[in-house]
Structure 1
Amino acid sequence: MSSITRCPNCHTAFNVTAAQLAAHRGKVRCGKCAFVFNALECMTAQAESPADAPVDPTITEAVADETAVTVEPQHGAPHADNAVVAESPEPEPEPEPEPAVDALASEPASAIVAEPATASAEAAPSDYRPIRTIEDDALLAPPAPPSPWRWIWVAIAALAVFVLLTQIALRYRATLSTELPWLRPIYVSACQSLGCEMPLPRHAELLRSDYSELSYVPGRHNLVQLSASLRNLAAYEQALPTMELTLTNEREEVVARKRFTPSQYLVASEKNRSRLAPNDELRAYLQLDLDKLDSSGYSIYWFYP
């Protein structure tokens, strides 16, 4: 004898037999919404009319520990309703085709085909809702609208980055214009507007002393004259360096040392020079009164203070 049970989630009615209910203590899984429930607690009265029962080919499975088996409803059965499937330890032979095994089954098991429902069931309500997990609800939830303050903070952060980069560019303008010569006209124009100075590069290692000579002025034993030339080996303009002259005696002892600025050592024809162009040469000329100093040697050192 069969009874009718109803899924408490989707309200679909199914035929179950006493043997099926006893095999797994009434525990079944709805084939329509996959809800697991106790069929003994959800039994429906037999007085329902067959016309009221929902006709749905969905398969219901019986749950037994961790193994579940699914079969098709019996072909040709009158008033075919949703079928209930339960696992049985001793399968009964059936003339019907072999049952299709559910993908959840971990190992093969025999299946029992439930009889079609002989009693009617109420129509399933229209507010049927499938069971969803917490992850499903999170994925289906609409995204929260962006806060208007978000764009204000983005604008403030962008402004702060711009100010920081501007300060770095101004602080290292000489170095950047040296490494990237195309930036120098931009820096010059910007400094004219901002009231800052655009200094020329100062790389003393790219300066080479080509010629120098220290000699006494004829007829003047206390006067010496220095002639020297300096070349810029850099591929860019450089500032004029400072020249340091050191005088030594016969014992290589320093008797005098003095530094001269460009306005002091430049020859008369180059007094207005303010920079040293790439591969350009400047000439220095000095007259010094040694008075009573005894000097027989000298050395020149070009540098940037």
Structure 2
Amino acid sequence: MLYTRCIQCRTIYQISAEQLRSGRGEVICTHCNIIFGALENLGETPEEAAEDHSSCILELPELGANAVAVKPEDQAPKEGKGKTQAGPFQTEPPPKPNIEQEPQIKPFDADVLLSMGAKEQEKDEAEARARLYRTLATAALAILLLIQLFVYEKDKLAQNPSFRPWLESFCGMVGCSLPPFRNLAEIKVVDRALYPTKNSVEGYQFHLVIVNEAPYPQPYPLLKISFSSLDGTPIASRIFKPDEYLPPDHPPLMPSHQLIFVDLNLAAPSKPVGGFSFEFLE
């Protein structure tokens, strides 16, 4: 059994090593209700616990007006004698601390230490729950942001080769669908031509052969045809939808590695035509 002393009222308590561990070295005085470190005045006997371990600082007396300085050789031991002369100052041992009351030995209440340990444990558990709630809230916000991004930018993200495999896996789990993948760079021109019409109506016949070189079917593009004058100035243009430049029985998607023939009759613009151009649009 060990003993410790309250630093304020100096009451001595019996305490065990197990109680010290459970309270992490801190105890509550049942007299003055303060928390103090039990290890500071810990002892194996009540007398050791009652001792004051604070250091005493000695002050030297001030020198008077008639004080004479002592030379170092005056303090050296005289030859033939085993004693030394005393210097001008002598210090007395510090007085023992005055204990106002006799120490009282009382058995320490183990419930106090247990309650302190329980409070520390509850505090740690509360902090752990707070961290868990913050983590869950952050994860929920991140998931909500991803869902909003998917809903509003799904069609655009589906055309990105880096994101599409992830979106396909996600849609496979939730049962959604993605728009067909589109890559205009994979549509190649095999032949093109612009001829004047052979009938009496003044106009032009536009002929185009294209092929989808992508390894997958993709939507048909929009087709924009432009006329320009002899000096290259644009004079007319029009955008055709797939239903306007394809036959009625065309497949819903542009097949892979299959020739697509386009033939259109175009009215002649009001100005002479010097050239033409076309481009594919999404």
TM-score by length of 1: 0.46
The answer to which structure has the higher strand fraction is 1
**In proportion to residue count, which structure has more helix?**
2
